[in-house]
Structure 1
Amino acid sequence: EELQFNMAADQILLSDPNAFFGGLLNIAEDIKSTDKKTWLEDNQNKRSEWVIEHLRNLELTTGSNKWPKDAIHPLQLSINVQEAMSDGDHLVFDGGNTHFWSEIAVNLVGKKNHLSLGSVMHPGSYSLLGVGVSFALSAKRLNPKENVVLITGDGAFLSGGLSIEAAFQENLPIVVIVDNNGGLDCISQQQERLFSSGTHFATDFRDIPFHDLVKGLGGYGELVTKSSEIIPSVKRAIKSGKPACINVKTKGVISPIVEATSDKRDKASIE
C-alpha cells in the first residue's frame, strides 16, 4: 500500500515478478501484431523533444531575473564537463542531486553532441554517497590510457573522497569535479519539504577548498565560479596528467527525482 509513497513512477504495480513477466509473455504476440511499425522512430522523436524541453527549461531558469548573477546550475555543470570530454572517455557520478542531474545531462549531451563515452558509472538508484572516487580509480586502473572524470557532490566527496590518496600511490590521474553547493543539498531540500518547521538541520558545510586539498597532496586543482570557466578548467586538469580536482561553486537546485519522491514520502511510515 505504501509503495506509491516511496517511488516516483507513472504506474506502480505490486506483483510477483514471475506472474508479471509471464503475463507479458502471454500477450507478447498481440503486442507485436498491433504495435506501430514506427515504434523506434516515435521514441527517437520523443527523445529529441525531451532534450529540447530540458535545454529550454535550463535556459529559462538561468535567464530569469530570480536567478543569481553568474550562479552555476548543476545541470549546466554536468553538461559543460561532458562537453570538455572526448569519445571513449569514462564518466563517473557520485552524490544525490548531483547524480540525478548528471543522469539527465548524459542523455542531453549524448543526443545533442553525439558524445560516445567509454562507460558511465553511478552510485545506483539510491545514490550511495562516497563511492565515486573508488569507482573512478577502478575505471582508471582498467583503462590507464583513457581519461576518467568524476562528477561528485561535495557531501559525497566528504563521504569517501579521501581515498583519492590511492590515485597518488598508484599513479592513477583521475579528474574530480566537485559540485560544491555548500552542503548535503539533497537531504536539506527533503528536510525542508518534510519538516513542519520548513527548515533543515546539520546539512550545511563551511567553504571547503577541495581544490587546495588535492593540490596539497601533490595534484592539480582549480576553483571555478563561472560557467564559462568550466570547459577550459576541465581540459587543463586532464592535460595536467595528475590526480586533479576542479572545485565548482554551484547553486543547489532540487532535481526532478528528489522533488517527485519527497512529495510522496511525507505520507510514508519510512519517514
Structure 2
Amino acid sequence: MDSGYGGRVSISQRNDLALNGHAGQHALAVAEAHGVGTMWTLSGAHVFPLYDAVVKAESPTRIVDVRHEQTAVFGAEATAKLTRDPGLVVLTAGPGVTNGVSGIAQAYFSGVPLLAVGGRAPAWRWGTGALQELDHPPLLAPVTKLSTTAHKAADVGPAIDRALSVARSAHRGPVFVDVPMDELYSFADVTLEVTPPAPRPEPDPAGLTAIATLIGESRHPVVVLGSDVWMDGAEDAALRFADETGIPVVANGMGRGVLPRGHRLLVNRARSAAFKNADLVVVVGTPLDFRLGFGTFGGSDGAAPAKVVHVADSPDGLATHVELAAGAAGDLTLVLDGVLTAMRATRRWDDWANGLRDQAAAAAERDAPLLASEGEPIHPARVYGELNRVLEDDAVVIGDGGDFVSWAGKLIEPGRPGCWLDPGPYGCLGAGAGAAAAARLARPDSQVVLLYGDGAAGMSLMDVDTLVRHDLPVVMVVGNNGAWGLEKHPMRFLYGYDVAADLRPETGYDAVVEALGGAGETVTEPGDIGPALRRAFDAGMPYLVNVQCDPKVAYPRSTTGI
C-alpha cells in the first residue's frame, strides 16, 4: 500500500480532504486545514506517526519539542492566543497526557481553541496492563469542550475535524482526542469535508437597544474589555466604540492594549474609583469572576449598586450569578457596532471620564517615586520603571508569577492589542517558557519579555533548553525576592508566621540559563537594571536578568474577591 508520503492529501474547492496513508497523516492534514501551523510536543513512541507525517510530507507545520509536557501545552495555548488560530499539542500516553492537564485547564478557563492529541495504549492489548494504559478522556472531560477516543484509523480524521470545529466555535476552548497506538500507525483511506466552526448567533436587536438605552440613561458608565475582545477579532470595534462614545475603559487579560497605553479613556490606574462610583458597568468579553468582584460594582457613599450589562460571544457565556440589567451574545464586533448604532447621543460623559483620567494620572504620579526608587534591595517597581523605558509598542509581555507579576499588571500597559499574556482566571504558574517560545515564533520581529517570579521560574526554567535548541531569543526577568511572595505575606498577616514560603535568594537563575546555552547576569543595584535590560535585548539569545528584589515589599492588594 502506498505510504501516502509526499502530498497524497488533496484539498478540493469544496474544502474536501482526501486522506490517504497512516492515521498520523490524517490528523496532521485535518489540523492544517483548520489553521494549525505549529506542533508542540515531547517525544513519545505512542505518537510517532504524527511526527512522521510532518517530516515525510515536508509539511510547513513546525515541530517544537520541549522538556516537559506542561510547556508543550502552554506553548500551544499561547500560540492560539497570539495567532487566534487553533493551537496543537501532541502528548504521549499516560504521564504525557496527565502532565498536560494543568495547561489544558488553563486553556479551558481562558477560552482558548486548543487541540490536544494524546497517545493511547494499543487497542489489541487494552485491559492487559500495557505500558501507560490509562483511559484519558474521563480525566480531561471536566476541562475540555470535547474529550474522546478515535478507536480506528479511519476515525482519526473525522474525530480531529469535529474536535477542531468544536474548539473554534464560541465559546472557544480546548478539546482532546486520543488514539490507540496500533490504530495511529495503521493506514486507511477517508474523504471528509472540513467542518467550519459553528456560526455565532447574531445578537438580538432588542438586547442591543436595551444596552444602548441603559448607557444613554447612565451618568457614570464604565466599559470593561476582556480577552475575548481580542480572541473574537473585535479590537477595532472596541476601540471605535470607546472613541465614539467617550466612555472610560478598564481592560483586563488580552483586552489590555485594545486601547493603547496613554489613551485618554484608558483608566486602569483608576480602576477602583471607576468601579466604586459607576452607575453602569458594561462588561465585554470576560466573565464576571473574582477579577471583577464577581460582578458587584458601585454602591459608593450609600449610592445604589451599579447596573451590570454583560456581553459574551455565546449565550452560555452570560453570567447567571448576577442580576443583569441587560445582556447580549454573539459576534462581539456586531454587538459593539450594533449598540453604537442604537445610541442616540454620544460623548455625554466628559466630566466623568476626565475625572477618572485625573485620578489615573494622580495614581501614576504617586507611584513615580517607586519606579525610580534607589532603595537596596531593589524595589520591584524599579524593574518596571526601567523596563518601560525600553519596551516597544509591539513588545509581547508575558507574566508568570504572583507578587512580582502583580506589579507588572499595575505598571505596564501594552502598546498594542494581542501583546499581553498572563495566566488568566485559572492562575496557573509555569506557563512562561512555553508562552515565550510561542511568542517568539508568532512575532519574530517583536521584543519578547518573560517576567518571572522566582517561584514560577523553578517550574519551567529547564525549558530554556528548548529556547536555545530552537534558536528562540527572549528576554527573561526574574524578580528574585527569595520567597513565594503571594503566600508569604498573607500567611504572616493571618498567623504571625510563615512556613513553606521561603526560597534561596542566592539562587543564580542566570547561571542556570548559562548552563543551558543562554546568557544572563545578576543585578543587585537599581542603577544597573537598565543597562542589563539593554544587554539582554541586544544579546540575540535567551538572556535572563536576575534582579535581587526586596523581600519585605509586598504588592498592595485587596482581600476581597477571594
Q: Residue type of the partner of 1:227? A: P
- The alpha-carbon deviation at position 156 of structure 1 amounts to 0.7
For residues 522 and 362 of structure 2, what CA distance do their matches in structure 1 show? Answer: 35
The partner residue of 1:48 within 357, 361, 369 is 361
Secondary structure at the aligned position of 2:424 is classed as coil
Secondary structure at the aligned position of 1:20 is classed as coil
- The alpha-carbon deviation at position 95 of structure 1 amounts to 0.6
The aligned residue for residue 381 of structure 2 is: 75
For residues 242 and 221 of structure 1, what CA distance do their matches in structure 2 show? Answer: 10
For residues 515 and 406 of structure 2, what CA distance do their matches in structure 1 show? Answer: 30
Structure having the higher strand fraction is 2
For residues 561 and 326 of structure 2, what CA distance do their matches in structure 1 show? Answer: 30
Deviations 1:112-157 (A, max 9, x none): xxx6687121122453211112111111110112220111100011
* 1:165-180 equivalences in 2 (<5 Å): 165-180=465-480
Secondary structure at the aligned position of 2:420 is classed as strand
Could you tell me whether the CA contact under 8 Å between 2:478 and 2:544 is conserved in 1?
A: yes
Asked which structure has the greater CA Rg, the reply is 2
For residues 468 and 548 of structure 2, what CA distance do their matches in structure 1 show? Answer: 25
* 1:1-271 equivalences in 2 (<5 Å): 9=293, 11=297, 16=320, 19-22=323-326, 36-56=349-369, 58=370, 62=373, 70-107=376-413, 119-125=419-425, 127-195=427-495, 198-206=496-504, 207-252=506-551, 253-257=553-557, 260-261=558-559
- The alpha-carbon deviation at position 59 of structure 1 amounts to 7.1
- Tell me: CA distance 1:221–1:23, structure 2 relative to 1, closer, same or farther (3 Å): closer
Secondary structure at the aligned position of 1:254 is classed as coil
For residues 490 and 402 of structure 2, what CA distance do their matches in structure 1 show? Answer: 11
Could you tell me whether the CA contact under 8 Å between 1:88 and 1:119 is conserved in 2?
A: yes
**Structure 2 gap segments, 5+ residues each:** 1-289, 299-304, 309-318, 329-341
State the TM-score, normalizing by the size of structure 1: 0.76
Q: Residue type of the partner of 2:481? A: N
Could you tell me whether the CA contact under 8 Å between 1:78 and 1:151 is conserved in 2?
A: no
For residues 390 and 523 of structure 2, what CA distance do their matches in structure 1 show? Answer: 15
- Tell me: CA distance 1:78–1:127, structure 2 relative to 1, closer, same or farther (3 Å): farther
State the TM-score, normalizing by the size of structure 2: 0.38
Q: Residue type of the partner of 2:502? A: D
Secondary structure at the aligned position of 1:149 is classed as strand
Q: Residue type of the partner of 1:85? A: L
Could you tell me whether the CA contact under 8 Å between 2:464 and 2:518 is conserved in 1?
A: no
Larger RCO: 1 or 2 (CA < 8 Å, sep 6+): 1
Q: Residue type of the partner of 2:497? A: T
**Structure 1 gap segments, 5+ residues each:** 1-5, 64-68, 266-271
Count, aligned residues: 239
Deviations 1:60-80 (A, max 9, x none): 9x57xxxxx522111111221
For residues 383 and 526 of structure 2, what CA distance do their matches in structure 1 show? Answer: 7
- The alpha-carbon deviation at position 202 of structure 1 amounts to 1.6
- Tell me: CA distance 1:89–1:23, structure 2 relative to 1, closer, same or farther (3 Å): closer
After the TM superposition, which segments of 4 or more aligned residues of structure 1 sit over 6 Å from their partners? 12-15
Secondary structure at the aligned position of 2:428 is classed as coil
Q: Residue type of the partner of 1:48? A: A
Structure having the higher helix fraction is 1
Deviations 1:215-266 (A, max 9, x none): 1111111110011111111111111101111111001321122xx22x886x
Could you tell me whether the CA contact under 8 Å between 1:133 and 1:163 is conserved in 2?
A: yes
Q: Residue type of the partner of 1:42? A: G
